[in-house]
Amino acid sequence: MEKILEVHALYKQFADICAVDQVSFEANKGEIIALLGPNGAGKSTLMNMIAGYLAPNGGDVFVTGINMEQNPIDAKSNIGFLAEGAPLYGDMSTAAFLDYMADLKGLDKAQKKQRLLDVQEMAQISTVWHKKIETLSKGYQRRVGFAQSLLSDPPLLLLDEPTDGLDPNQKDHIRHLIKELGKNKTIIISTHLLDDVSEMCNRIMLMNKGCIVADGTMQDILQHSEKHSLEDAFRYLTGGQYA
Ligand SMILES: Nc1ncnc2c1ncn2[C@@H]1O[C@H](COP(=O)(O)OP(=O)(O)OP(=O)(O)O)[C@@H](O)[C@H]1O
Ligand SMILES: [Mg+2]
C-alpha cells in the first residue's frame, strides 16, 4: 500500500472553539474517504489545514512524505483542492480561469493544452467554457471548481462537498468519475449525502466536535447499529448529534 497522506496531531483553535482537536490518521492510494459529521464538526477546517490553506496551531501534515509546513509549495503541488463554496474569480471566463490556474500549478504549454481538454470533458463544462464565472449557476460554478482541482492530476484530492448544488444527472456523473479517479489516487470527500458515501467511498471517517469518533469501512461502522443502518450508527457514535 502506498501511503499518500499522513496527518499527525493536527489542531486548530478559533478563539474559545477547538475546531480540530489533535486529529491523526493516514491514507493510502486507492482510498476514497467520506469525511462526515454534523455542521460545525470541523470537517472543512481539517481539509483546509491538510490543503495548506489554513495554518494549524499544532501538528503536522505530510503529503507523499513532504512536510506541508517546511515545504508548502512541493506539498501543495501534490494536492487538488475543491474548497467549501469553491471560491473562483467571478469576472474571468471559465477558460481564462482554468488557464490561469494551470499556469499557477506550473503546467507547461503542451501539458496545459491537454489537461484543459481533459478537465473540460471530465467536469462537463464545454457549454460554459467562454462564459463569465459569475454568470454561471451554482452547479456549474461547482463543476468549474472541480475541474480546477483536477488540473495537475494530483495524487491527493480534497473535495469539500463536491456534489453540493449539482442536479441528479451531474451527481451521478461526478460520483462515477470520482470512483474511477480513486483507483489511482487518495480522495477525501466531505459530504452530508449518504448516497455519496454508499456510491463512492470505501472508508468512512466520522467527526464530532473536532475529533474523529469513528474510522473504518461501511461494514465496520454498521456494527454500531443493531438496525444495520448508517444513520442509526452515526446517531450512536455522535451521541445524537448527527443523522
Ligand atoms: N474562520 C473561522 N473563525 C472562527 N471560527 C471558525 C472559523 N472557521 C470555522 N470556525 C468554527 O470552527 C468549527 C468547525 O467549523 P467547520 O467549518 O470546520 O465545520 P464543518 O464540519 O465543515 O461544518 P459544515 O458541515 O457546516 O460544513 C465551527 O464551530 C465553526 O464555527
Ligand atoms: Mg464544512
Share of the chain above pLDDT 70, in %: 99
CA of 108 to the centre of ligand 2 (A): 33
Q: Candidates 10, 35, 43, 53: which one to mutate for ligand 1, based on the most atoms within 8 Å of Cβ?
A: 43
Query: For 199-220, what is each residue's pLDDT tens digit?
Result: 999 999 999 999 999 999 999 9
Indicate whether 83 belongs to any domain.
Answer: no
Residues 73 and 174 in one domain: yes
Q: Is residue 111 part of a domain?
A: yes
Same domain (yes/no): 136, 177: no
pLDDT for the residue 94: 97
Sheet containing 66-67: give its strands across.
17-28, 3-14, 58-63, 66-67
Full-prediction pTM beyond 0.85? yes
CATH number at residue 202: 3.40.50.300
DSSP 139-157: HHHHHHHHHHHHTT--SEE
Neighbours of ion ligand 2 (CB under 5 A): 43-44, 84
Do 17 and 58 sit in the same domain of this protein?
yes
Tell me the pLDDT tens digit for each residue of 9-56.
Answer: 999 999 999 999 999 999 999 999 999 999 999 999 999 999 999 999
pLDDT band at 87 (very low <50, low <70, confident <90, very high): low
Q: Are residues 106 and 74 in the same domain?
A: no
141 lines ligand 1 (CB under 6 A): no
Total domains, the chain: 2
Distance, in Å, from the CA atom of 235 to the CA atom of 19, rounded to the nearest integer, reads: 20
The last residue of one of the domains, among 131, 153, 175, is 153
228 vs 85 pLDDT, higher one: 228
Residue with more model confidence, 155 or 87: 155
H helix or E strand, kind and range, residue 213: strand 211-216
Judge if the beta carbon of residue 42 lies within 6 A of ligand 1.
Answer: yes
Containing structural domain, residue 136: 88-153
Check if 43 has its Cβ closer than 6 Å to any atom of ligand 1. Answer: yes
> What is the pLDDT at residue 96?
97
Backbone conformation region of residue 149, classed left if phi is above 0, alpha if psi is from -120 to 50, else beta: alpha
Atom from ligand 1 closest to the CA of residue 38:
25
How far away, in angstroms, is 122 Cα from ligand 2 center? 24
